[in-house]
Amino acid sequence: MQKNDEIILKITDITNEGSGVGKYEGMAVFTPQTAVGDTAKVKILKVKKTYAYGKVLELITPSPDRTTPDCEVSGKCGGCVFRHIDYKAEAKLKEDKVYQAIKRIGGVDLKPSPIIIPDNTCRYRNKAEYPLNSDGKVGFYAFHSHRVIPCSNCLLQPEIFKNIAEETENWIKENRISIYNETAHKGLLRHLYIRIAEATNEIMVTLVINGTAIAHSDKLIDSLKSVCGDSLKSVQINFNTDNTNVILGKKCKTIYGEDYITDILCGIKVRLSPLSFYQVNRDMAEKLYKKAREYACPQNKNILDLYCGAGTIGLSMAKEAKSIIGVEIIPEAIEDAKFNAKQNNIENARFICGDAAASAEILKNEGISADVIIVDPPRKGCEASLINSITNDFSPERVIYVSCDPATLARDIAIFNANGYILKEYTPVDLFPRTSHVETVALLIRTNQKI
């Protein structure tokens, strides 16, 4: 098989990133925008030693899972890799993805509890971070690139985001606002960043700039007021002059309204700034936290919440728990967590700014005990030193692991298992319908039998 060959390929599996996989002459061929059960004519784009990449030229026999994409940029932007298949098939793929990772990497052959799915697979995101092309059009990056695919009406975003994006595009054109070029590191406007607090309908709009000021912002504010009405609570500038792919800089300036907006999650008021971590799917986050609370059995327990962000998971259990201690390395998140505890009259919560592993060591030296430990790490998972501290120094009855990556979750489950904690139950939760991502909540129980 060589580049530019045209082959007939039967799709038999899906990768973690959402591409279809078929075998041809013993080699795996990865082909985006295909579904299990498809037979397609495929053009080979790149050939490696044991695998190749292709693209569909013609769909010969469609999979029974196929459906017609309802998005004009489906297959072009890097977001909705599953918009061409039925949602039930997508949910089954994600449930199996988690199971296979736990089985192969974690070494535990335990079926998951049924995946928790949303009531709505569209318009669920409460945050958008739009890059802009050279013409000042908002959009999204193409798969594995920084090429912007123009799209103001993303079906994952609330409809009001479309109106905000279009008003911003008009303002850019009328006022000749320069657009940031990441190759030259020149130009002013880097991203348009929008948040909405769904429970209160409060909206925050942030302009991320490569500079210290932006002209004609008063005109944009007037335009935003016209489309958002009283829902517009905050307009801010975020300063990011670094030559980096990181979207947000560390400092913000409010140019209209308040510094924050407020949402309500699991009955807890949550303060949100541009820099606050917050789950992008509020309704599904409530379901995820409900499952975490069910696994934690927090009644009269001392709970240690590591990687706590703005404290939302721990605070959702605070009224039942004996105490909550949250740990997070980002100072702004800790300030949000402290404020959230105060505004909800929660007095049994304490928050510490620091690295999870180092803070766990400090708490151990203070003689702090924990009946339940919650970890919600980034995609890379937990450090081995942290798992060692959890299992040997604290030795809680239960560990609740909230994961955004099945592979690192499975890896860490194997380490927990070697340290005397078995996987009792786990539940996939689809916080990001139509994308390749899936969350998982896992319950690990202490057995005192180390391998």
Provide the 10 A C-beta neighbour count for residue 258: 15
Provide the 10 A C-beta neighbour count for residue 385: 14
Half-sphere exposure of 85 (CA within 13 A, CB side): 30
Active site residue 382: no
> In 97-154, at which residue ranges do the beta strands (DSSP E only) sit?
127-131, 139-141, 148-150
SS3 category, 384: helix
Q: Between the CA of residue 156 and those of 2, 159, 192, 431, what are the distances in Å?
A: 38, 9, 16, 12
The structure tokens 């949100």 sit at 272
For residue 207, which phi and psi values (nearest 5 degrees)?
-100, 120
Q: Which of 122, 297, 353, 404 is catalytic?
A: 404
Tell me how far apart the alpha carbons of residues 267 and 320 are, in angstroms, rounded to a whole number.
13
Query: Under 8 Å CB-to-CB from 197, ≥6 apart: which residues?
Result: 126, 203, 261, 262, 263, 264, 270, 272
Q: Find the radius of gyration of the CA atoms of the chain.
A: 23
List the catalytic residues: 404
